[in-house]
Amino acid sequence: MATTRSTCPYCGVGCGVLIDTDGAHITGVRGDPEHPANHGRLCTKGSTLHLTATPAVLQQARLLQPRWRAGRQGPGTPLAWDAALDQAATRLADIAQAHGPDALGFYVSGQLLTEDYYVFNKLAKGLLGTNNIDTNSRLCMSSAVAGYKATLGADAPPACYEDVDHADCLFIAGSNTAWAHPVLYRRIEQARAARPGQRMVVVDPRRTDTAEQADLHLAIQPGTDVMLFNGMLHLMLWEGWTDNAYIAAHTTGFDALKARVRDCTPAEVARVCGIAEADLLTATRWFAGRDADGQPTGGRTLSLYCQGLNQSSSGTDKNAALINLHLATGQIGRPGAGPFSLTGQPNAMGGREVGGLANLLSAHRDLANPDHRAEVAAFWGVPSVPATPGKTAVELFEAAADGAVRALWIACTNPAQSMPDQATVRRALERAEFVVVQEAFGTTATARYADLLLPATTWAEKTGTVTNSERRISRVRPALPAPGEARHDWVIATQLAQRLEARLRPGLPTLFPYDTANADAGAEAIWNEHRETTRGRDLDITGLSWATLDRHGPQQWPCPEPTSPAPAGQPVVGAARLYTDGVFPTSDGRARFAAVAWRPVAEPRSARYPFSLTTGRLRDQWHGMSRTGTLGRLFAHVPEPCVQVHPQDLERRRLHDGQLVQVRSARGSVVLPVQASTSVAPTQAFIAMHWGSEYLGGRSADGQPLAGVNALTPPAFCPGSKQPELKHTAVRIDPV
């Protein structure tokens, strides 16, 4: 019997877990009482992790050896690792030589560990000379990144979980926290029980479980968040509820924003957002920390927000408009106050830290900045990092569908289900000359398009680090050896890179000197290299070694190297909150108001497509279900897909509860049962995002089979963040 301390692989809460093993198998998983993110709690997904790692799951779902799929048919034939990597390196090098490095594309994942992410980025941007490496975090957090950078100057959530306990108003926008971040929500429930005066406002078109428990639910029309936030600022200005001293001392750009919100009158906000003016006033008053007479209470406001803001064609503006409210009221940089973006995936933050997006470089450097490119090139020991912007997720698959990107290397993600506009993704995967899928699970929709399948390790087998929503870095540790022939993601990337080096820079010392035979030593060497790139940056973690993390537990960044040695035994402590001194990481130290204007959704309802379809998570499922779908008990909460529609709409369309309907958008269709639900407003509909082709077969407009709800969703994306509008599609609903 042994116990291993590690981290849950699901959501961005980043709960600590204790994994019990009998030497050969995992016998149980418990919440780690010493982890600051969860203090021993786990949700249904975390507490059943051990049941997704049984021998039966291993046999049925895991990919256990490299397989070559001639003609992309069937499961393929087993291949030795050396042959598989030789073949892969040859194909990539040949394509790059014939068509240039930008004919290659890498699509990785916010579920990779920081060390995996680092090596993949160095491989693409440093060795191969292409910035065509993006990640499913583009679908998750890129609007939060762009929103923070546009206003606060850096991609750094300024708050922490403890702020939930200190806030007087929790302003939750575009997040069903109760289902998507359950352990954080338990903390919210606890805080509300301890402090009955704490207010909770929920902004969400749906009456979710979170909205159900709010003091005030603003059921806005989908995509009208910017109008709501600008309207709140209009009211704050009208009532004199802004913090003018804070604005004068710590910000710029307020006059332009004031002009922008001048027309966002309560009547106009009520019309566009579909809410009552009285509710708008109440929400504004609570946010600004005012009593019923408008007098200041000293109340602190913490915003919690997620995909409802991010997955939008105006995602950056939605983030910025909400941050504007915090700056205008001085609700930032103190306990219980701040704009706190909740991370969807377990390591979307770590990926951002190593520059794991097509427009970023290591340690929050910008690809567009020549000085940053030169710094990273010098650090990696390469002549340069290419200046040409990399293709972001939607652009990458569109380029593959057009033939410009000819090879796709996909690691730890399932774009054939999770990307929007599945018809284009299918064309991309079919047209690409060479598709490699590096995965733990062989059952994903994307695996069917692979020429080469490479088995990767996963939770309970890997070693490395992840960063959660509150900038807290935790160790991930292995409790079991890798099954079959599976290898760690960074090992696969390193061994591929070393083969490519033989073609691209023969005779030179390797840029990837990581010990692939010793996972702990190799991964720690990568961590140390990444750590050094952060020196002097906003996320400086030069004070954090793996030994420190092992000794003192998970830590928040920044955590720079101490200028003088800490007293013996004293823990290293990162920063719980940022901007406590009112100084921001901009050229003049001031935060910037963003004068953003509301724009409607990319695809508004119309006579032909009269419903607004929104998508979202279920409580007990994760992403495309490759892991949670292996466990029957996680289907008890919601056993099958359905489209939720308001009872009035069912009656109007002469449909009945449980009837099979076709939901159709301009790009494709799905057939599934309709469910009457008052959680959606009239003219709106909802389908959960998790169901793949085994449960929810889709069709493209020309009849090709597609997987899940993203047969319907549009490729439109936010111009600032390039994050697609997975949250909204105009559809029609007809009986079949």
Q: Which residues bind ligand SF4 (CB under 6 A)?
A: 8, 10-11, 13-15, 38, 42-43, 45-46, 181-183
Nearest distance from C-beta of residue 304 to ligand SF4, angstroms: 14
Q: Is the dihedral of CA 214, 218, 223, 227 positive or negative?
A: negative
Nearest distance from C-beta of residue 472 to ligand SF4, angstroms: 12
Nearest distance from C-beta of residue 342 to ligand SF4, angstroms: 10
* 52 vs 675 by CB, closer to ligand SF4: 52
3-state secondary structure of 214: coil
Name the nearest CA neighbour of 172 among 15, 290, 340. Answer: 340
Nearest distance from C-beta of residue 311 to ligand SF4, angstroms: 19
Count of beta carbons in the 10 Å neighbourhood of residue 346: 29
Instruction: Give the distance between the most distant pair of CA atoms in the chain.
Output: 76
Structure tokens at 374: 């030169």
3-state secondary structure of 700: strand
Residue 329 Cα distances to 242, 289, 303, angstroms? 5, 9, 13
Nearest distance from C-beta of residue 332 to ligand SF4, angstroms: 25
Residue 393 Cα distances to 106, 139, 369, 390, angstroms? 10, 8, 21, 10
CA 731 to mean position of chain CA atoms: 26
3-state secondary structure of 587: coil
Count of beta carbons in the 10 Å neighbourhood of residue 553: 18
Nearest distance from C-beta of residue 459 to ligand SF4, angstroms: 10
Nearest distance from C-beta of residue 43 to ligand SF4, angstroms: 3
* 174 vs 182 by CB, closer to ligand SF4: 182
* 120 vs 161 by CB, closer to ligand SF4: 161
* 318 vs 627 by CB, closer to ligand SF4: 627
Structure tokens at 182: 């359950």
Nearest distance from C-beta of residue 185 to ligand SF4, angstroms: 8
Give burial (CB, 10 Å; 0-12/13-18/19+) of 550.
exposed
Terminal C-alpha separation, the chain: 55
* 14 vs 574 by CB, closer to ligand SF4: 14
Nearest distance from C-beta of residue 473 to ligand SF4, angstroms: 15
* 183 vs 349 by CB, closer to ligand SF4: 183
Nearest distance from C-beta of residue 560 to ligand SF4, angstroms: 27
Please give the residue whose beta carbon sits closest to ligand SF4 in the complex.
46
* 182 vs 266 by CB, closer to ligand SF4: 182
Instruction: Specify the residue for token string 């993949």.
Output: 120
* 122 vs 181 by CB, closer to ligand SF4: 181
Name the nearest CA neighbour of 731 among 631, 614, 626. Answer: 614
Look at strands 26-31 and 16-21 and give their pairing.
antiparallel
* 187 vs 499 by CB, closer to ligand SF4: 187
* 325 vs 349 by CB, closer to ligand SF4: 349
Rounded distance, CA 464 to CA 477, Å?
Answer: 7
* 304 vs 416 by CB, closer to ligand SF4: 304
Rounded distance, CA 649 to CA 684, Å?
Answer: 9
Rounded distance, CA 316 to CA 312, Å?
Answer: 8
* 38 vs 413 by CB, closer to ligand SF4: 38
The stretches of 53-181 forming alpha helices (DSSP H) are 55-61, 81-99, 114-121, 142-151, 163-166, 177-180
* 147 vs 344 by CB, closer to ligand SF4: 344
Rounded distance, CA 287 to CA 306, Å?
Answer: 18
DSSP 8-class letter at 390: P
Rounded distance, CA 211 to CA 229, Å?
Answer: 18
Rounded distance, CA 361 to CA 374, Å?
Answer: 11
* 180 vs 681 by CB, closer to ligand SF4: 180
Nearest distance from C-beta of residue 190 to ligand SF4, angstroms: 14
* 181 vs 290 by CB, closer to ligand SF4: 181
Nearest distance from C-beta of residue 436 to ligand SF4, angstroms: 29
H or E element, residue 434: strand 434-439
Instruction: Specify the residue for token string 């930008």.
Output: 102
Rounded distance, CA 526 to CA 88, Å?
Answer: 23
Rounded distance, CA 293 to CA 311, Å?
Answer: 37
Nearest distance from C-beta of residue 687 to ligand SF4, angstroms: 21
Nearest distance from C-beta of residue 14 to ligand SF4, angstroms: 6
Name the nearest CA neighbour of 722 among 315, 320, 404. Answer: 315
In a 13 Å sphere around the CA of 657, the CA atoms on its Cβ side amount to 7
Please check whether residue 548 is in contact with residue 537, taking contact to mean a CB–CB distance below 8 angstroms. Answer: no
Order of all β-strands in the sheet with 2-7 = 2-7, 16-21, 26-31
Nearest distance from C-beta of residue 467 to ligand SF4, angstroms: 13
